[in-house]
């Protein structure tokens, strides 16, 4: 499985702001927005482009646009904080939504929303979720996408735990991971260490 760690100094700075327990919700959301831009930028580096002739005020030249804009799929709640920034970079993208809440005891994802196009054959998909912990939520989401015919899926995560990467690898599903860090481990409560806490709560408040 292809795992790409975006360890650019500017990405590290945004991630450090998110990790810092003193960062308030507004600053956390702002740092996640900026980090999302960097992750999407890297994730689409090799995306095929369509070339068309355009006119500058001075001359004719080649213009470029994405040949096959991806479907963006934020995983609610925490992934919502990545949706608008990803959409700004790829304005032609369609967006689907998946809502999952991890059970605090079993750590299994409980689904509460699924709004996805019926058929995804031939379409790249970018799944947006800041946290890849046990990998259960991401694996659940990717399964929904594969069941609709997706074969080109990229998980865009601010942070990943080694356990989550291993989970996706062992699932055998066709997925690539783009993240700003692979942290040390999960703790006994399934939180990423050192991590940043609960990404949903830090953006929107505790539920």
Ligand X SMILES: O=c1cc[nH]c(=O)[nH]1
50 vs 166 by CB, closer to ligand PRP: 166
Nearer residue to ligand PRP within complex by CB, 85 or 129 = 129
By CB under 6 A, which span of 37-45, 63-71, 116-124, 133-141 interacts with ligand PRP?
Answer: 133-141
Binding partner of 192, given ligand PRP, Mg ion, ligand X, none, CB within 5-8 angstroms per partner class = ligand X
> Which x/- pattern over 142-181 shows residues binding Mg ion (rule: CB under 5 A)?
----------------------------------------
Query: Which of 44/141 has CB closer to Mg ion?
Result: 141
* Site for ligand PRP contains 100 (CB under 6 A): yes
With binding defined as CB under 6 A, does residue 98 bind ligand PRP?
no
The least distance separating ligand PRP from the CB of residue 124, rounded to whole angstroms, comes to: 21
Q: Is 199 in the site for ligand PRP (CB under 6 A)?
A: yes
CA-wise closest residue to 16 among 181, 132, 163: 181
Binding site for ligand PRP (CB under 6 A): 75, 77-78, 100-102, 107, 109, 129-138, 164, 190, 198-200
């Amino acid at each position: 499985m292809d795992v790409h760690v975006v360890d650019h100094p500017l990405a590290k700075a945004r991630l450090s702001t998110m990790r810092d327990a003193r960062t308030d919700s507004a600053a956390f959301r702002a740092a996640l927005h900026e980090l999302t831009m960097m992750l999407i930028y890297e994730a689409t580096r090799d995306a095929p482009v369509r070339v068309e002739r355009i006119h500058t005020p001075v001359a004719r030249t080649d213009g470029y646009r994405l040949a096959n804009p991806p479907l963006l799929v934020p995983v609610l709640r925490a992934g919502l904080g990545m949706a608008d920034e990803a959409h700004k970079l790829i304005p032609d993208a369609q967006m689907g939504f998946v809502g999952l809440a991890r059970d605090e005891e079993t750590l299994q994802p409980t689904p509460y929303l699924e709004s996805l196009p019926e058929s995804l054959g031939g379409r790249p998909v970018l799944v947006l979720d800041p946290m890849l912990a046990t990998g259960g939520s991401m694996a659940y989401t990717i399964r929904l996408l594969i069941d609709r015919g997706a074969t080109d899926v990229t998980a865009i995560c601010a942070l990943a735990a080694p356990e989550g990467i291993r989970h996706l690898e062992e699932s055998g599903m066709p997925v690539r991971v783009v993240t700003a860090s692979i942290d040390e481990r999960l703790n006994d409560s399934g939180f990423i260490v050192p991590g940043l806490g609960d990404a949903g709560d830090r953006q929107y408040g505790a539920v």
